[in-house]
Amino acid sequence: MFKIVSTREMLIKAQIEKYAVPAFNIHNLETLQVVIEVAMELRSPVILAGTPSTIEYAGDNYIVAMANVGANKYDIPIAVHLDHFQEIDGIKGGIEAGFKSVMIDASHKDFQGNVNTVKEVVEYAHRYDVAVEGELGKLIGKEDSLIVEEKDSVYTDPETASEFINLTGIDSLAVAIGTAHGLYKGSPKLDFLRLKKIKEKVRVPLVLHGASDVGDELVRKAISLGICKVNVATDLKIPFANAVKKYFKENPNENDIRKYMTPGKDAMREVVKHKIMVCGSNGRY
């Protein structure tokens, strides 16, 4: 049986075999159960991601404990990942709790400030065999408490990306090529030429944030050009919430948590299945 693993080997395997590992943002027992159960059904590696507000809501120790149950029960690689953390102390706390993968988001700082912050996290995390993801460039939209207006968005520069990786020692790089956090106001337009140039310059696995609300063919093309990890959040929350709302509309007097959460889980289950198939991670273990 597997135990909670680092994303390092998981993403390198995806890079070699040209698929992507989906990283699903989870928030509680129900969402965690759905992701792990579907991943097991489809024999896919999977990353359970938690933003700072999710960790504050659910507790890092609780998330790790629940993930460990799944890891001990099923024989697929499961990673728990801190997503979009900006505070180093929060990352250290998550590592102590058992997270084996972290993302330090210092993209709001200037280049040298980003490098300095990420390098400090890498030096700490690698002592515990924890993989580190950094970000270069800024995605528009809202991710937790981090809000980036369209005028402030910055695409990842290929030359700078190579320098950033060499200076920090990160294990994976989140790139800004036109995706956004949350839902899109119009149709997403991804800069695939930029992605291709980044891939030519760097060797670490590349990460696509803001993949919710992006067409399947665009995601598949991004994977074919080097994306090895695809983050999904909003596309899970909306169907879950809509299914629970529909249940209450049809059953206004219901008060059994087990009954009204089940439709939400079922709706989310279908999305998780679909995203795994789009990533091509099914049948890899």
Binding residue numbers for dihydroxyacetone phosphate? 182, 210-212, 231-234
Residue 219 burial (10 A CB sphere; 0-12, 13-18, 19+): buried
Catalytic residue among 60, 75, 83, 266: 83
Report the half-sphere exposure of 17 (CA within 13 A, side-chain side): 17
Known binding residues for Zn(2+) are 84, 105, 135, 181, 209
Binding residues: 84, 105, 135, 181-182, 209-212, 231-234
Rounded CA-CA distance 104/135 in Å is 8
Residues 210 and 52: their CA atoms lie apart, in Å, by 17
Q: Is 83 a catalytic site residue?
A: yes
* Three-state helix/strand/coil letters over the chain: CCCCCCHHHHHHHHHHHCCCEEEEECCCHHHHHHHHHHHHHCCCCEEEEECHHHHHHHCHHHHHHHHHHHHHHCCCCEEEEEEEECCHHHHHHHHHHCCCEEEECCCCCCHHHHHHHHHHHHHHHHHHCCEEEEEECECEEEECCEEECHHHCECCCHHHHHHHHHHHCCCEEEECCCCEECCCCCCCCCCHHHHHHHHHHCCCCEEECCCCCCCHHHHHHHHHCCEEEEEECHHHHHHHHHHHHHHHHHCCCCCCHHHHHHHHHHHHHHHHHHHHHHHCCCCCC
Active site members: 83
